Structure 1
C-alpha cells in the first residue's frame, strides 16, 4: 500500500526549512537553514535529509529545491551540504561528504538582486550554470542535476530568451523534475511585477516566492485533501497585492489553506509595518487572508520560542493575532511543539482523505528520529488563468 504525502517542518530556530515528500517519493525542499549539525542543541537536519531523500548509484538527491528568497536563514548550508556543478562530475569524495544533488532548482531573478551571502551566491552561481546550458542548447540541459525553472519576472538581468523555463504568478505547476504529478500541484502567487519597484528598497522581503501547495489522494477527487501555504518572509504589502490580484482574476481557490507557514518567523510584518508599537492595528487584508482557513487549519511558526519580549521576530503580538484566528491548539511553534532530550523535533503532517492533516508523531528519542514521515502525493489540474 502506498504511503501518503507528507509535509515536514524542521525546527531551525528563526529560519525556514521544509520538506514535501510525495507518494512516489518525489521530494521538494523549501528553503534550508542547516545550522551546526554537531551542536547538541540543534536538530540534525542534514542527517534527516539524508534519511528522507532518494539515492541514485549511492548519490543522495532531492527532486526540487525552492528558495523563497536569499536571506541567510533561508539558505544557510546550501553551499556546504548541496552539490554544485556538473552532475557527471559528482565524485566519491562528494559522496563521502553526503552532498545532496538538486535535480531541479527553482530560481527567482529578483532574489539574486536582493540578497548577498555566500549561500545565496552559491545558489545563484549554480542557477546561472544551469541557465547557460539552456542558452547553449547543451544536450545535458534536461539531465537530473541540470534542470531549472525560473519563477517570476526579471530585474536588471534579462532572461527573456528562457521564457520557456518560466512560471509566473497565476500559473499552476503540475510537473516536477520532469515528471507529471496527478495528485500534487503548486499555485504560484508571487513575486509579481510590482515587486520590481521594491528592488533596492527596504521592502526586499516582499520579493519572496509565495505559493499554495495542493494535495489530493485520488485522481477523481474534486477538491484538495490538503492546502499548504508557503511565503518566505513576505510582508503585508505582498499579501495585500496577492489578495487583490487573486480575487480580481477569480482565483480565490488559491487562497484557501489548511497549513499556513507564518511569514518571517511569526513576524509582525505580516500584519503591519514594524515596529508593532507604532503600527498596532493589523491590516484588514492580512486578516482577510487568514479568513481563508479551512476547518481545523493550523499556523506553523518556524521560529525560536515565542515570548513576550523585545527580541523580535518572533513577535508575541503576531502570535496573538494568529491564535485569534485558529485557536491556541492550532498554533504550532517548531521549537516547542515536540522536544526529545531537550532537542526540538520536526513537525510532520500526513496528507489523508479525511480533510485536514494531523501531526504525525515519530517514535524514538535519538537526536535524529529516522526519516520522520516519508511518502507524499500530488499533482493538479490546469485551471487558473495565469493572468495575475
Structure 2
C-alpha cells in the first residue's frame, strides 16, 4: 500500500488540506474552493475528484473536519459538497461532481453564529444528521449521515448526543466507521474556557485544534509524523492548550513535524493585533513552537508574504517561525512551487524515516493532481494525476 500523505492546497488566505491514509481513507480539513476562471488559481475541486474514492460513481470523502465557520475555511462547501439524504443523490448531482461527506466533524461553536452561506449550509447539514440520531433513525449510521461532535456546547444544546462527542484530551482512531491502527487524532480544542472567557469577537479562537499522528507499521515505538492543525486559533487559545496539555501530562501531544500556521501566518498566533502595538511574541506561543521535532516544517497557507503591514499574512509572524525552523523549513503555499504561473499543492509523504520533503513538480497542466509526491530527486509514483 502507498504511504500516507498530507496535501496542503494553495488557496490564498484560506485553508484546504487533504489527508490520505494507506487504505485510501481521505480526510478533508476545511475548504476554500475558489472560482478557477483566473489563470493563477489552482483547481482544487478537480484535484479532489481525482483524490477521493467513488461509491458506485458517487465521489465521497470519508471525513470532513471544519475547524470553524469563517468563509475562507468553508468557501465552496454549499456548491461542491452534497447536502441532504444520501439516497437522494441524483444523476444531476453526479454530473456536477458533488462530493458526498460520509462523516462530518462538527463543532457546536459553529451553531453560535452564521456569518456566510457556506457556514449556514454546513450547520444545516449537521442538524439534519443530528436529528437522525435524536429520532434513532435506522439510517443514522449510514455513509452520508455520520457525524461526530467536537468540543463543548455553547448556546445550542447537544447534551443528549454525548455519545457522538469527542472532547479535548481524547484520542480518536475511528474514522467513517472504520478503526485505524496507524493513524489517530489527539483533540486539543476547543476547551470549555473558550465558551466562558471568549466573546463573539474571538470566534476564530474557538477553532478545532488537533494533532494528527501517523505510523507506517504497528511495530514502531514512536510516530513517523506528527501534524498540527489549528484553523484560526490565536495565542489565547494556544496558551490554554499548552496549560491543559501540560497539566494532564499529555506533552507528547504538543510535538510536531508539520505545523499549519494558524490564521494564515497571522500575528494573532503570537500576540494581539496590530503587531506594532503588541510587538513581543508571547512566551506560551514560542513554547508551543519549541515542541518541534528535528527537521520540523511550518506551512503558511496564505498569499505571498511581503514585508508590509498586511495581516494576514504577516511578515513579522513569518520571521518568528523562521527563527524556530529556519528559512528552508518555512513553506508558503502560494510561492513554494509554481508551474506556469499557477501555485501547486505542497504534498508530504509519511515514511518510516519521517515526513519526506516534497519535490518540485515538473508538470505543465493547471491541475497537477498528484505532483509533488515522493522523495526529493526521485520520480513520483503517483503520476498522471492519480492520487
TM range (shorter): over 0.9
Q: Secondary structure at the match of 2:49?
A: helix
Q: Contact conserved, 2:363 with 2:371, CA < 8 A, in 1?
A: no
Report the CA distance between 1:113 and its aligned residue: 1.0
Q: Who is 1:157 aligned against?
A: 156
Q: Who is 1:112 aligned against?
A: 111
TM-score, scaled to structure 1: 0.95
Q: How many angstroms apart in 1 are the aligned matches of 2:196 and 2:340?
A: 47
Q: Contact conserved, 2:339 with 2:362, CA < 8 A, in 1?
A: no
Q: Who is 1:265 aligned against?
A: 264
Q: Who is 1:191 aligned against?
A: 190
Q: Contact conserved, 2:349 with 2:355, CA < 8 A, in 1?
A: no
Q: How many angstroms apart in 1 are the aligned matches of 2:111 and 2:368?
A: 35
| Runs of 5+ unmatched residues, structure 1 | 376-388
Q: Which has the higher contact order (CA 8 A, sep 6+)?
A: 1
Q: Who is 1:318 aligned against?
A: 317
Misfit runs of 4+, over 6 Å: none
Q: Who is 1:297 aligned against?
A: 296
Q: Contact conserved, 1:104 with 1:147, CA < 8 A, in 2?
A: yes
Cα displacement string for residues 203-244 of structure 1 (whole angstroms, at most 9, x for unaligned residues):
111100000000000011111000000000000000000000
Cα displacement string for residues 57-107 of structure 1 (whole angstroms, at most 9, x for unaligned residues):
110000000000000000000000000000000000000000000000000
TM-score, scaled to structure 2: 0.95
**Cα RMSD (Å) of the superposition?**
1.2
Q: Contact conserved, 2:28 with 2:63, CA < 8 A, in 1?
A: yes
| Runs of 5+ unmatched residues, structure 2 | 375-387
Q: Contact conserved, 1:11 with 1:43, CA < 8 A, in 2?
A: yes
Within-5 A mapping of 1:292-371: 292-371=291-370
Q: How many angstroms apart in 2 are the aligned matches of 1:25 and 1:89?
A: 25
Within-5 A mapping of 1:206-221: 206-221=205-220
Q: How many angstroms apart in 1 are the aligned matches of 2:136 and 2:236?
A: 39
| Residues 317, 373 of structure 1: alpha-carbon distance in 2 compared, 3 angstrom cutoff | closer
Q: Secondary structure at the match of 2:293?
A: strand
Q: Who is 1:378 aligned against?
A: none
Q: Who is 1:379 aligned against?
A: none
Cα displacement string for residues 14-37 of structure 1 (whole angstroms, at most 9, x for unaligned residues):
000000000000000000000002
Report the CA distance between 1:359 and its aligned residue: 1.4
Q: Contact conserved, 1:111 with 1:207, CA < 8 A, in 2?
A: no
